[in-house]
Amino acid sequence: MDGAIVIVGAGRVGFRTAELFAARGREVRLVERDAEKCERLRERSDVELTVVAGDGTSPPVLERALEGDVAAFGALTADGEANMQALVVARELVPEARFAARVRTEPEGFRESFENVRLVTASSVAASANALGADVGSAVREHVGGMDVLELVVGEEAPVVGRSLADAALPQGCLVVTVDGTHRADGETTLEPGRRVTVAVERDAVDETRAAFGADAA
């Protein structure tokens, strides 16, 4: 898959997804409406991406972001309605690209109108990246932008036991990549005692993550 990856939304999910693609050498363009956040992103030297300032639902803004060869477009803000609006515009501009949108629930009539779009219904960087074409499971041992990889076993009395990833109160900066070695994690993945999980985690959240899983090193 060649071409740029264009992502709307520089929140946790959008930025981490952009960071993952950038760490693999992909051209990444990140659309963000918050001017101060755009400036902070431009000042960062640890990740290479192009920041496009503006409203991700605006056709003129998306025309700038989607210039040239675009492989994939993801609307990954926390506002599902805005993501769908951005999606409609983007599909008109780059109809051959791969598309993904983050939503809380699948909109009525979605499958009939958006056959080539993947929905992300959990606040998951892995699910978002996979929807845009990244094989996250093939690179779980990569060190990505300040995140370390832990191999953990879910403890019998861990706070996350019996919960899906979508419902589990995981620490900020924690990303479950795979479960039991080969199962790619998504929002519906259930965390049961004894399951082995591969987790990408920000360094300052390592202790909190280990406590959430009640886990010893695998």
Residues 150 and 124 in one domain: no
Structure token digits, residue 96: 């051959």
Q: Within a domain: residue 38?
A: yes
Across residues 125-154, what is the average pLDDT?
68
pLDDT digits (tens, 9 = 90+) for 173-183: 777 777 886 55
The answer for 43, left when phi > 0, alpha when psi is -120 to 50, beta otherwise, is alpha
pLDDT of 203 above 90: no
Across residues 123-135, what is the average pLDDT?
76
- Residue by residue, DSSP assigns 71-111 as EEEEE-SS-HHHHHHHHHHHHHH-TTSEEEEE-SSPPTTHH
Residues 147 and 122 in one domain: no
Q: How many domains does the chain have?
A: 2
Residues 98 and 182 in one domain: no
How sure is the predictor about 31, in pLDDT bands with cuts at 50, 70 and 90? Answer: very high
Q: Within a domain: residue 125?
A: yes
Residues 45 and 153 in one domain: no
Residues 170 and 100 in one domain: no
Residues 29 and 119 in one domain: yes
User: Domain containing 123: what range?
Assistant: 4-134
Across residues 121-145, what is the average pLDDT?
65
Residues 81 and 179 in one domain: no
Q: Within a domain: residue 117?
A: yes
Selected residue with higher pLDDT from 108 and 38: 38
Residues 122 and 18 in one domain: yes
pLDDT of 144 above 70: no
Chosen domain end from 134, 160, 184? 134
CATH code: domain of residue 145: 3.30.70.1450
pLDDT of 15 above 50: yes
Q: Within a domain: residue 195?
A: yes
Structure token digits, residue 218: 């695998």
Structure token digits, residue 17: 């997804």
Instruction: Give the pLDDT of residue 110.
Output: 74
Q: What is the pTM of this model?
A: 0.67
Q: Within a domain: residue 218?
A: no
Selected residue with higher pLDDT from 132 and 106: 132
Share above pLDDT 90 across residues of the chain, in percent, rounded to a whole number: 42
Q: How far from the centroid of its chain's Cα atoms is residue 126's Cα?
A: 5
How sure is the predictor about 187, in pLDDT bands with cuts at 50, 70 and 90? Answer: low
Instruction: Give the pLDDT of residue 178.
Output: 76
